[in-house]
Amino acid sequence: MRQTVHIDQPESGHGERQSGDRSRADRPAVELGGDSFAVIGGPCAVESRSQLMTVATAVAGAGAALLRGGAFKPRTSPESFQGLGREGLELLAEASRATGLPVVTEVLDPRDVELVARHAAMLQVGSRNMQNTPLLREVGRSGLPVLLKRGAAATLEELVLASDYIRREGNDRVVLCERGVRSFDPATRYLLDLAAVPALRALTDLPIIVDPSHGTGRAELVAPMARAALAAGADGLMIEVHADPAAALSDGPQAMRPAEFADLLVELRRLAPLLQRRWVRALSRDRATSRPLDDEVIAP
Ligand code: PEP
Ligand code: MN
């Protein structure tokens, strides 16, 4: 039996809620797995309010299901931008309220799980922490869905065993993410292992998504790999988007521009039904961003 994972927009305590909050019926929720196909889009890192709002609005308007953005960044060098921390989380919560998109963001430290969980709808455990067992246990206890990314040198069995740490805490809402493994060839940042998608199906009942941004490290390779991931049976994608990639504080070379992202999503929405997939996005009746997409067919 394949699992579907529901991601709910938090009821309250999602950052500082404003008065006039939406009722339960209006709160968007999205579903990953089953016959659905969901795209997560957003910047690598939250850099500023205007940077995030620009991208969040574009990502919502393009028909994505979730917003991503790192407030705690796992950088290779301690000299690099480490993220805005708590301020970044507050901006993400604000962007989520403004667009209606639930937010997924990375937590690096078990001590921050509670803080991050107050601002996000889904917690991300990054590649570098796939086998950080105290963190896996803590996110397992958080009660929120978890996006678990494959370590850059982890086998698929190790990835599934890492997901078992989360599930042992009573949390079955786990989504696995293939994001590329180390190879000998510097032509791409990592080697995107698309065979991992069907191979993982035999090992786990969890939804599986693909991150072609980190998987290639090159913006021009993201669209072809995104199409291939859908064809390979992925349940969704995670894609980095930045309005000015050259000025990005992290991962600029792999960021799509908003217009490129929107074009890709139009294409994927057309392909999805051919592959027996249903396009999923956060729906909330009272949001401008939830107007039907230009090319969207709404069932009567
Ligand atoms: C990310 O998605 O922000 C990220 C840091 O990716 P990874 O953990 O796959 O390197
Ligand atoms: Mn990144």
What is the DSSP secondary-structure string of 96-137?
Answer: HHHH---EEEE---GGGHHHHHTT-SEEEE-GGGTT-HHHHH
Mutate to test the pocket of ligand 1, among 182, 211, 249 (most ligand atoms within 8 A of CB): 211
Question: What pLDDT does residue 285 have?
Answer: 45
Q: Which are the contacts of 220, defined by CB distance < 8 A and separation ≥ 6? A: none
pLDDT for res 284: 54
Report the alpha-carbon distance of residue 72 to residue 87 in Å, rounded.
10
Nearest CA to ligand 1 atom 3: 44
Give residue-wise pLDDT tens across range 210-237: 999 999 999 999 999 999 999 999 999 9
User: For a substitution probing ligand 1, which of 84, 107, 124, 193 has the most ligand atoms within 8 Å of its CB?
Assistant: 124
The DSSP result for 14-60, as a single string, is: SSSPPSSPPPGGGS-EEEEETTEEEEEEE-SB---HHHHHHHHHHHH
Mean pLDDT by 10 residues, the chain (300 residues): 88 47 58 97 98 98 97 96 98 97 98 98 98 98 98 98 98 98 98 98 98 98 98 98 98 98 98 97 57 55
- Distance from C-alpha of 141 to C-alpha of 148, rounded to nearest angstrom: 15
Give kind and range of the element (H or E) at residue 177.
strand 174-178
Evaluate: CB of 106 within 6 angstroms of ligand 1.
yes
> Is any ligand 1 atom within 6 A of the Cβ of residue 150?
no
CA–CA distance, 56 with 54 (Å, rounded to integer): 6
Q: What's the pLDDT score for residue 22?
A: 46
What is the rounded distance in angstroms from the CA atom of residue 209 to the CA atom of residue 165? 19
SS3 state at 209: strand
Residue 240: which H helix or E strand, with range? strand 236-240
Which pLDDT score is estimated for 9? 82
Quote the pLDDT of residue 282: 79
What is the distance between the alpha carbons of residues 108 and 86, in angstroms, rounded to a whole number?
13
Residue 106 alpha carbon, nearest atom of ligand 1:
3
Per-residue pLDDT of 18-67, as tens digits, reads 444 444 445 558 999 999 999 999 999 999 999 999 999 999 999 999 99
